[in-house]
């Protein structure tokens, strides 16, 4: 950490104004560190994974030819260089492990900078009276970031230990009994080092990109009933730092709404239009639709904001589309109904429900209710399933009359002047509807079913549906978890065996 502190101290010196900072105060030199790490070390070429994989080959060659060198080496090369094939492979292993140490150390250095910058940004937010620590998810995010740093530190320690064992191997010669045992210890330390690194690949993070924390953030809670649907969904998936800035963004955005537009409707249409832009709506249509709810100052604010740029919105929408595909599938189905002029299943009530087809960690069940009648009505939404927890759930909703008939039995264009288009109707529908978000925890793997029923308060069935899904582990996460566990097992066994055999060889006689 001393090197990290020196970098941060030097970065606090005055710089030329041409060296612009990012949202997190990063200077170009630190952005370059992140770019090198992303393109060469941890991603891209993935040296941090390739080098130990290549080292496995050199370790095996060192052990396999520890007694005799291959004939082509013994006849042509060994007389000239004075090294057996096994010793040459052990030397190559040391060079590869040294490269792995540099890769792990560089990656840990980058992670250390990001972690320290995270704490600096939290402190800066507190000084601006935006307490990040009080937001949901902060403790979990901090634990994730610190755990990642701990894993990288252990990985570096194990890698250095592996290199030290190889030096002993070269000193003792590879054909000796102790040399072979230290070779076993070196390979075991390398395996343990890789095992420490693997879990961190599921939650990479950085503080250079504005959305760099999102991959390491997992929402601990979410609202069961969404008030401002898109807004609540976005805030749930934002990391605490980004969420604290989003609250300020919304306040400024509301001042840019036209006075004649309802603020809740404007919020939903703004985010709905951004979502449609992420799914193919062209820039010209995007600007014309936003101009219907924003004045000139509001338009300038949206398209010139330093943090919430269109690129950041696209990243946020992309992340939510991956974690909550059922919600967007439900929205797209309503959009298709409006575009084709299809009538709802019930004349006085719109009821839509959806859930992802493949469940890994948890299932997100989204439901939309919209009362098309002029009278308040109460309905019971019941969820029954043998494969998830809770197994039986009944929710009672009081549905107020729709403020406006946000439906059309005639086909509508996607975007047109005014709100008599799909974007306008969908925005109003989400604003006035009741949207439920329930999380179901799987208790079995394989095929699973979820039955949903919409009932009157007296138990009369209004509409019923059955959703068939498949519960399975996420492959990449499973592979990393399993790989890490196997690395701990084999590394631990190898290290223990080498230690015990060394003790036996020293005090119990020759093997």
Q: Which residue has the tokens 């760099």?
A: 212
110-126 average pLDDT score: 92
Overall number of domains in the chain = 2
Work out whether strand 363-371 and strand 434-442 pair parallel, antiparallel, or are unpaired. antiparallel
Tallying the residues shown for the chain, one arrives at 511
**What is the distance, to the nearest Å, from the Cα of residue 476 to the centroid of all Cα atoms in its chain?**
13
Per-residue tokens: 337: 């109904």
Instruction: Report how far residue 26's alpha carbon sits from residue 16's, in angstroms, rounded to the nearest whole number.
Output: 14
Q: Within this chain, do residues 487 and 450 fall inside the same structural domain, yes or no?
A: no
Q: Within this chain, do residues 34 and 50 fall inside the same structural domain, yes or no?
A: yes
Per-residue tokens: 35: 């770019």
Q: Determine the pLDDT at residue 20.
A: 40
Pick the range with the lowest mean pLDDT from 162-176, 242-256, 407-421, 494-508.
407-421
> Residue 244: pLDDT above 50?
yes
In a domain, 309, yes or no: yes
H or E segment at 138? helix 138-172
Q: Within this chain, do residues 168 and 192 fall inside the same structural domain, yes or no?
A: yes
Q: Within this chain, do residues 306 and 425 fall inside the same structural domain, yes or no?
A: yes
Q: Within this chain, do residues 90 and 238 fall inside the same structural domain, yes or no?
A: no
15-28 average pLDDT score: 43
Terminal Cα distance for the chain, rounded: 44
> Residue 115: pLDDT above 70?
yes
Instruction: Please give the share of the chain, as a percent, with pLDDT higher than 90.
Output: 63
393-401 average pLDDT score: 92
Instruction: Report how far residue 474's alpha carbon sits from residue 164's, in angstroms, rounded to the nearest whole number.
Output: 37
Q: Determine the pLDDT at residue 365.
A: 96
In a domain, 9, yes or no: no
Within 12-84, residue ranges assigned H as helices are 28-36, 47-64, 71-76, 78-81
In a domain, 7, yes or no: no
Beta-sheet strands, E only, within 110-230: 225-226
Q: Within this chain, do residues 267 and 168 fall inside the same structural domain, yes or no?
A: no
Per-residue tokens: 136: 């949901």
125-140 average pLDDT score: 88
Per-residue tokens: 426: 């969908």
Q: Within this chain, do residues 402 and 493 fall inside the same structural domain, yes or no?
A: no
15-25 average pLDDT score: 42
H or E segment at 480? helix 475-507
Instruction: Report how far residue 310's alpha carbon sits from residue 304's, in angstroms, rounded to the nearest whole number.
Output: 9
Q: Within this chain, do residues 283 and 339 fall inside the same structural domain, yes or no?
A: yes
> Residue 427: pLDDT above 60?
yes
Confidence of residue 206 (pLDDT cuts 50, 70, 90): very high
For CA atoms 130, 131, 135, 138, the dihedral sign is positive
Go through 369-404 and write b for each residue having 16 or more CB atoms within 10 A of its CB, e for each that does not: bbbbeeeebebbbbbbbebbeeeebeeebebeebee
In a domain, 160, yes or no: yes
Span 222-231, pLDDT tens digits: 999 998 899 9
Q: Within this chain, do residues 486 and 468 fall inside the same structural domain, yes or no?
A: no
Instruction: Report how far residue 276's alpha carbon sits from residue 282's, in angstroms, rounded to the nearest whole number.
Output: 9
Q: Looking at residue 239, which CATH number applies to its domain?
A: 2.60.40.10
Q: Within this chain, do residues 272 and 146 fall inside the same structural domain, yes or no?
A: no
Span 297-310, pLDDT tens digits: 999 999 999 999 99
What's the Cα-to-Cα distance from 492 to each of 383, 488, 497, rounded to whole Å?
A: 47, 6, 8
Kindly compute the dihedral angle of the four CA atoms of residues 84, 87, 92, 98, in this order, to the nearest 10 degrees: -160
Instruction: Report how far residue 352's alpha carbon sits from residue 389's, in angstroms, rounded to the nearest whole number.
Output: 22
Confidence of residue 255 (pLDDT cuts 50, 70, 90): very high
> Residue 392: pLDDT above 90?
yes
What residues make up the domain containing 450? 219-472
Q: Determine the pLDDT at residue 403.
A: 66
Span 448-479, pLDDT tens digits: 999 999 999 998 999 999 999 999 988 888 99
3-class state of residue 445 by DSSP: coil
Q: Which residue has the higher pLDDT, 9 or 43?
A: 43
Using alpha carbons only, what angle is made at residue 185 by residues 179 and 191, rounded to the nearest 5 degrees?
A: 140
Q: Determine the pLDDT at residue 404.
A: 66
H or E segment at 369? strand 363-371
In a domain, 139, yes or no: yes
Q: Within this chain, do residues 126 and 231 fall inside the same structural domain, yes or no?
A: no
Span 178-194, pLDDT tens digits: 999 999 999 999 999 99
> What are residue 451's phi and psi, to 5 degrees?
-100, 130
Q: Determine the pLDDT at residue 374.
A: 86
3-class state of residue 353 by DSSP: strand
Confidence of residue 16 (pLDDT cuts 50, 70, 90): very low
Radius of gyration over every alpha carbon of the chain, rounded to an integer in angstroms: 30
Q: Determine the pLDDT at residue 29.
A: 66
Instruction: Report how far residue 447's alpha carbon sits from residue 462's, in angstroms, rounded to the nearest whole number.
Output: 27
333 and 354 Cβ atoms separated by less than 8 Å: yes
Q: Determine the pLDDT at residue 19.
A: 37
Using alpha carbons only, what angle is made at residue 43 by residues 96 and 239, rounded to the nearest 5 degrees?
A: 135
Instruction: Report how far residue 380's alpha carbon sits from residue 275's, in angstroms, rounded to the nearest whole number.
Output: 31
Confidence of residue 343 (pLDDT cuts 50, 70, 90): confident
Per-residue tokens: 357: 């087809």
Q: Determine the pLDDT at residue 509.
A: 55
> Residue 52: pLDDT above 50?
yes
Kindly compute the dihedral angle of the four CA atoms of residues 24, 26, 32, 36, in this order, to the nearest 10 degrees: -40
Smallest CA-to-CA distance from 110 within 40, 191, 51, 16 is with 40
H or E segment at 466? strand 461-471
In a domain, 4, yes or no: no
In a domain, 356, yes or no: yes
Q: Determine the pLDDT at residue 100.
A: 97
Q: Determine the pLDDT at residue 153.
A: 97
> Residue 6: pLDDT above 70?
no
Q: Within this chain, do residues 293 and 393 fall inside the same structural domain, yes or no?
A: yes
In a domain, 280, yes or no: yes
Q: Indicate the pTM of the whole model.
A: 0.85
Residues near 355 by Cβ (< 8 Å), separated by ≥ 6?
326, 363, 364, 365, 366, 440, 450, 467, 469
3-class state of residue 404 by DSSP: coil
Q: Determine the pLDDT at residue 253.
A: 93
> What are residue 68's phi and psi, to 5 degrees?
-130, 140
- At how many degrees (to 10) do helices 85-127 and 28-36 cross? 140
Confidence of residue 27 (pLDDT cuts 50, 70, 90): very low
């Amino acid at each position: 950490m001393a090197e990290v502190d020196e970098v941060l101290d030097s970065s606090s010196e005055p710089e030329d104004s041409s060296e612009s900072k990012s949202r997190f105060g990063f200077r170009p030199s630190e952005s370059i560190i992140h770019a090198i790490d992303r393109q060469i070390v941890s991603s891209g070429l993935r040296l941090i994974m390739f080098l130990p994989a290549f080292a496995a080959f050199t370790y095996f060659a060192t052990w396999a030819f520890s007694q005799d060198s291959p004939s082509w080496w013994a006849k042509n090369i060994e007389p000239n260089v004075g090294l057996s094939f096994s010793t040459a492979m052990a030397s190559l292993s040391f060079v590869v492990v040294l490269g792995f140490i540099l890769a792990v150390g560089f990656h840990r250095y980058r992670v250390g900078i990001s972690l320290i910058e995270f704490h600096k940004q939290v402190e800066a937010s507190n000084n601006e009276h935006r307490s990040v620590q009080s937001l949901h998810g902060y403790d979990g995010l901090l634990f994730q970031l610190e755990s990642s740093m701990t894993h990288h530190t252990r990985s570096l320690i194990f890698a250095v230990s592996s290199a030290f064992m190889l030096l002993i191997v070269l000193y003792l010669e590879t054909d000796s009994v102790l040399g072979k045992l230290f070779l076993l210890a070196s390979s075991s330390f390398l395996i343990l080092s890789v095992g420490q690194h693997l879990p961190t690949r599921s939650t990479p993070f950085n503080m250079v990109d504005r959305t760099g924390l999102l991959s390491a953030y997992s929402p601990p809670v979410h609202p069961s009933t969404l008030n401002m649907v898109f807004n609540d969904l976005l805030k749930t998936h934002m990391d605490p730092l980004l969420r604290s800035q989003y609250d300020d963004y919304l306040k400024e955005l509301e001042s840019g709404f036209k006075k004649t537009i309802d603020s809740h409707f404007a919020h939903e249409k703004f985010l709905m239009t951004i979502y449609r832009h992420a799914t193919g709506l062209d820039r010209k249509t995007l600007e014309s639709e936003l101009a219907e709810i924003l004045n000139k100052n509001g338009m300038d604010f949206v398209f010139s904001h330093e943090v919430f740029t269109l690129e950041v919105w696209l990243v946020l929408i992309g992340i939510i589309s991956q974690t909550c595909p059922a919600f967007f599938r439900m929205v797209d189905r309503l959009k298709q109904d409006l575009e084709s002029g299809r009538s709802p299943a019930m004349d006085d009530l719109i009821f839509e429900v959806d859930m992802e087809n493949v469940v890994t960690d948890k299932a997100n069940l989204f439901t939309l209710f919209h009362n098309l009648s002029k009278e308040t009505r109460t309905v019971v939404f019941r969820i029954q399933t043998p494969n998830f927890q809770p197994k039986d759930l009944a929710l009672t909703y009081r549905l107020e009359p729709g403020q406006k008939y946000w439906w059309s039995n005639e086909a509508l264009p996607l975007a047109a002047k005014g709100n008599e288009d799909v974007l306008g109707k969908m925005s109003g529908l989400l604003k006035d509807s009741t949207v439920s978000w329930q999380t179901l925890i799987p208790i079995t793997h394989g095929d699973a079913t979820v039955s949903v029923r919409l009932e009157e308060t007296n138990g009369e069935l209004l509409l019923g549906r059955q959703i068939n899904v498949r519960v399975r582990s996420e492959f990449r996460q499973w592979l990393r978890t399993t790989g890490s566990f196997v690395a701990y097992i084999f590394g631990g066994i190898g290290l223990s065996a080498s230690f015990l055999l060394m003790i036996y060889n020293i005090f119990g006689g020759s093997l």
